[in-house]
Structure 1
Amino acid sequence: MKNAGKAKRAGLRLLVRVTMVVGLLWVGALALDFARMHGQTASAPVLWPGLGVVCVVWILFAGFVVVFFRDPDPQPPGDPRLIVSPAHGKVDLVGETTEPEFMGGSCRRVSIFLSIFDPHVQNAPVTGKVALLKYQPGKFICALRTESAAANENVLIGFEPQTNPNRRLAVRLVAGVLARRIVPWIAPGEELVCGDRISLIQFGSRVEVYLPMSATVMVSPGQKVAGGKSVIARFD
């Protein structure tokens, strides 16, 4: 599968940067204590007790990074008529909407909320070609609100399925109050296999899927879905 391991490497880079900051704080604390012991800075605080707190916070943060940047292996079905969830999370809205940019009008909509405890790697919902990749600036309101998809910063990805390019579908990656960075790993014209990793959103966000009106939605609000695995709809 394409882009395997990218999420874990992103998490490792973040952990290294935070570790460097913590290391610099430690060096500063040691320098202040050394100066105090030698009478050069009589008012300097004794910071050794605080280092234990910093260690605990760093360990908790490291655990969070491991959980957040985990990257489960996709397990797409073999049937090309089936559309898998592009995200890990909970379906909180199923209905109809209008998406003129790529779908050209009325379409079915499946909205998935990603909590900070869900994996934040996204997967290709079908095998096919990336026909559109468009960044849209916007706000950063809480992604728990379904209207955030229309107002927030987002990236729209359009897909043309290999078996029938005319049955277009689209995925919108939505930033949130915490998730302020959307990292696409794909480019227009790129061919993908169902389940391929396509992007990473950091931290807590929303993903919307736009389907043709002829598609049959196979999930309902409140249902948990796994990216690259759970079937959310079917081409009829």
Structure 2
Amino acid sequence: MKFHKEGYTSLAIVILFIFVINAIADYYDASLYLKWFLYLLSAFLFITIVQFFRSPIKRVTANESIVLCPADGKVVVIEETEETEYFNDRRIQISIFMSPINVHVNRNPISGIVSYFKYHPGKFLVAWHPKSSTENERTTVVVKNTSNVEVLFRQIAGAMARRIVWYVNEKDAVTQGEEFGFIKFGSRVDVFLPLGTKVDVNIGDKVVGGKTVLATF
């Protein structure tokens, strides 16, 4: 387990805030009850930031016959739907909701070449809202494997998530299980698979990024 690089600024702000409020309490000789409240608040804020930006070390053996889960969270959607941004045809959509207590590292579900990438500015509807996948701030990534199968995956900001980070661009070679991005403070990841793909999860399942097998080709 390590601390993710995207959390350094947030951690520094929290530490500065903790130092300032406790220094003020000491300077004005606050009551013992107030001091203990501030100590507990400081511990809560520090632990919250550390747990949110934790980044488990994953060792993944790439397998072209499977689609790995791109994020920790809960499966909230499995359905056949029309994908209108890139494929413009029917696809199987699997959506993973990431709560604030989940690891927020996003990982490549397959290995291959990034054939499409686009960032979309947008709204911050709650992540489970039906229109969040088309109206919220989001990124869309499509990776083509060596069998010319393409998988689309989309980072979607939620009501609390105000920053999406990505580390890939078109024509990049990516490896299954490696990080492709990070979303801060609650969000969702959608995956779009070819029809006929065998889905290996169910709605309500708790899944782990870079470990749980979402589907099999």
Normalised TM-score (structure 2): 0.89
**Partner of residue 9, structure 2:** 13
Which of the pair is proportionally richer in strand? 2
**Partner of residue 24, structure 1:** 20
AA aligned to 2:147 is: N
AA aligned to 2:153 is: V
CA contact (8 A) 1:103 1:212 kept: no
Greater gyration radius: 1
Tell me which of 141, 164, 167 is aligned to 2:147.
164
RMSD (CA atoms): 2.1
Aligned residue for 1:57, secondary structure, equals helix
Q: Distance in 2 between matches of 1:215 and 1:160?
A: 15
Q: Give the gaps of 5 or more residues in structure 1.
A: 34-45
Q: Distance in 1 between matches of 2:87 and 2:134?
A: 15
Aligned residue for 2:55, secondary structure, equals coil
Q: Distance in 2 between matches of 1:193 and 1:209?
A: 16
Instruction: Give the total of aligned pairs.
Output: 216
Q: Distance in 2 between matches of 1:100 and 1:74?
A: 33
Aligned residue for 2:16, secondary structure, equals helix
Q: Distance in 2 between matches of 1:81 and 1:180?
A: 34
Q: Provide closer, same or farther for how the CA distance between residues 78 and 9 of structure 1 changes in structure 2, counting only shifts above 3 A.
A: closer
Q: Distance in 1 between matches of 2:38 and 2:8?
A: 19
Quote the offset at 1:53 in angstroms: 2.3
**Partner of residue 36, structure 1:** none
**Partner of residue 172, structure 2:** 190
Q: Distance in 1 between matches of 2:107 and 2:19?
A: 36
Tell me which of 33, 42, 47 is aligned to 1:58.
42
AA aligned to 2:132 is: S
Q: Provide closer, same or farther for how the CA distance between residues 8 and 151 of structure 1 changes in structure 2, counting only shifts above 3 A.
A: same
Tell me which of 170, 179, 189 is aligned to 1:207.
189
CA-to-aligned-CA distance 1:146-190 (integer Å, 9 cap, x gap): 4422221111111111x223x111111111111111111222221
Quote the offset at 1:72 in angstroms: 2.2
Alignment of 1:80-159 (within 5 A): 80-159=64-143
CA contact (8 A) 1:76 1:84 kept: no
CA-to-aligned-CA distance 1:52-82 (integer Å, 9 cap, x gap): 3222112111111222112223354543111
Percent of matched pairs sharing the same residue: 31
Q: Distance in 2 between matches of 1:140 and 1:232?
A: 26
**Partner of residue 72, structure 1:** 56
Q: Give the gaps of 5 or more residues in structure 2.
A: none
CA contact (8 A) 1:75 1:229 kept: no
Normalised TM-score (structure 1): 0.83
